[in-house]
Amino acid sequence: MDVSTRGGKRLLNRDDWMRAALEAVAEGGVAAVAVDRLAKQLGATRGSFYWHFRDRRELIDASLEKWESEHTTELMPEVDAIADPVERLRYLFREVYEQAVDPIEVALASAAGEPLVAPVVARVTNTRLAFLRRIFRDLGLARREAADRAWLAYAFYVGHHELATNDELRKSQPNRLDLIIDLLTAPSARKEMRR
């Protein structure tokens, strides 16, 4: 944390650039991370940027990793304390369904295919899938069925937010979570229908 100065101005460090980059991601997605704009914003030249980072790619890489470590394992312990698996799922979904979602998260999800973003998304997703599998295992489902439902649940979560970024479509969005929780946690449905 060396906060040196020169000629009155505070010298910049990697963290300053990364914070500015994450702000840009939140506002306009990864594409909005422009070295030139950040430099102007921070009162420096582009040349200065290249002292701290090899290139734009490294800035984005480092920024997303920073975000990941700060945001991915955040509410996990809290949720883990809920014993009933259905309630645990309900809590999790209410959390992400009703509240405003982290704009960085949305930006990353909708750029999951880009080579810069893919590894971050993969790591975060795997953590969450493991968490969901635990829930369905605790519900008494077989390993494979639990894995499949976890995928279904997470795919729904991702798609839901993808669709919700579109103002027009948000109107069609159901406002009760119960149905979703019910369906996801239903006993093996096909068998149910046969009785």
Among 11, 31, 76, 142, binds a copy of itself (CB under 8 A): 31
Residues 6+ apart with CB under 8 A from 3: 10, 11
Six-digit token string for 65: 């990793």
Site residues for a copy of itself, window 115-134 (CB under 8 A)? 118-119, 121-122, 125-126, 129
Q: Applying CB under 7 A, which part among 51-59, 66-74, 138-146, 173-181 lies near DNA?
A: 51-59
Shortest Cβ distance from residue 143 to a copy of itself (Å)? 12
Site residues for DNA, window 13-32 (CB under 7 A)? 13
Among 1, 3, 8, 47, binds DNA (CB under 7 A): 47
Residues 6+ apart with CB under 8 A from 155: none
Shortest Cβ distance from residue 29 to a copy of itself (Å)? 8
Phi, psi (deg, nearest 5) at residue 47 = -55, -40
Interacting partner of 94 out of a copy of itself, DNA, none (Cβ under 5 to 8 A depending on kind): none
Q: Applying CB under 7 A, which part among 52-60, 70-78, 89-97, 187-195 lies near DNA?
A: 52-60
**CA-CA distance, 133 to 8, in Å (whole number)?**
55
Q: Do the beta carbons of residue 135 and residue 89 sit within 8 Å?
A: yes
Six-digit token string for 33: 């991370």
Residues 6+ apart with CB under 8 A from 160: 97, 173
Nearest-5° Cα angle at 127, 21 to 88 = 115
Residues in contact with a copy of itself by the rule CB under 8 A: 29, 31, 106, 109-113, 118-119, 121-122, 125-126, 129, 145, 147-149, 151-152, 154-160, 162-163, 165-169, 172-174, 176, 178-180, 182-190, 192-193
